[in-house]
Amino acid sequence: MDVVVVGSCMIDLVCYAPRLPKAGETLHGSRFSIGFGGKGANQCVVSGRLGCRTAMVAKLGTDDFGSKYLRNFAENQVNVEHVTQVENVSSGVAQISVDENGQNCIIIVGGANQHLSEQDVDAADALLRQAKVVVTQLEIRPEVVLYTLKKAKQYGAVTIFNPAPAIGSLDPEIYQYCDIICPNETEAEIMTGVHIESNEDAQRAVKELLRRGCKAVIITLGEKGAALATDPEAIKFIETPKVTAVDTTGAGDAFVGGLAFFLSQRSDLSLEEQVRRACSIASCSVQSAGTQTSYPWKKDIDPKLFE
């Protein structure tokens, strides 16, 4: 198994409008769609579409959304042996608003995702033993995240921790067990207290996360690319291809899924080059509307990216 994702599945309820509403304001929207999302599932689907053998460890409700999600995984060739459904609990839902510039704001209701447990991770032990890369996020309980990272490191996998949605007080042990931590600017601010508006700000946030024990820190910076460091005195800024954004929803997940792909398939590349290529995958995703609907298949991407 190339990439195992222990994380979330969400149904995306997406409203498009000229701008995002202010507090107390009602706006006329232009379009509504329902799609498949959730940070964990998104990252898994991206890796799979790029060519990885992927597996998901997750929880869904027994509602119609849950049944449809299982079919979606099958269409994306994701191993769902350890995706189970919880009785009398709704599947996770994300309420998403997108403006005409592609910017978004999101509210999530975890539902069945909050029932994913350490016992579910144990049940997937055989998968984790095989995995080259294990990815997890914070749309499941932090205790399960830490348990997953510990077990993955025990078996020698490369671990990616996407601390989203961020919380300010994480168990300090989490940092010790993630090979790569990958927040965006907002998440990095919540975790470190550093408001990121400049490269200097990003450097301060990177240094703080390295100080906590992470082996490598990647802060995604939207259209500006990403900040990368394994050494607090050698922080690199990697630009992303310039494109016209239609919808940025799920772009961070496209980056993480792309990074997991290159880590599992192209260990000959430097981390800097793997990050650069993951930025290109994210840039592809923002040029189409929706979350998983925007994720490219390998056949639709410039072959030079895989050379």
Residues assigned a catalytic role: 253
CA dihedral 25, 30, 35, 41 (to 10 degrees): -60
Q: How far apart are CA 5 and CA 80, in angstroms?
A: 11
Q: How far apart are CA 155 and CA 226, in angstroms?
A: 29
Going from the C-alpha of 149 to that of each of 14, 41, 107, 142, 302, the distances in angstroms are 32, 17, 26, 11, 33
Helices (H), the chain: 39-50, 64-75, 118-123, 125-130, 142-154, 173-177, 185-192, 199-211, 251-265, 271-285
Q: How far apart are CA 102 and CA 83, in angstroms?
A: 31
Q: Is 218 helix (H, G, I), strand (E, B) or coil?
A: strand
**Phi, psi at residue 41, to the nearest 5°?**
-65, -40
Per the listing, tokens 């269409």 go with: 75
Q: How far apart are CA 276 and CA 102, in angstroms?
A: 22
138: DSSP letter? S
Residue 65 burial class via C-beta count within 10 angstroms: exposed 0-12, middle 13-18, buried 19 and up = buried
Which amino acid belongs to residue 225?
G
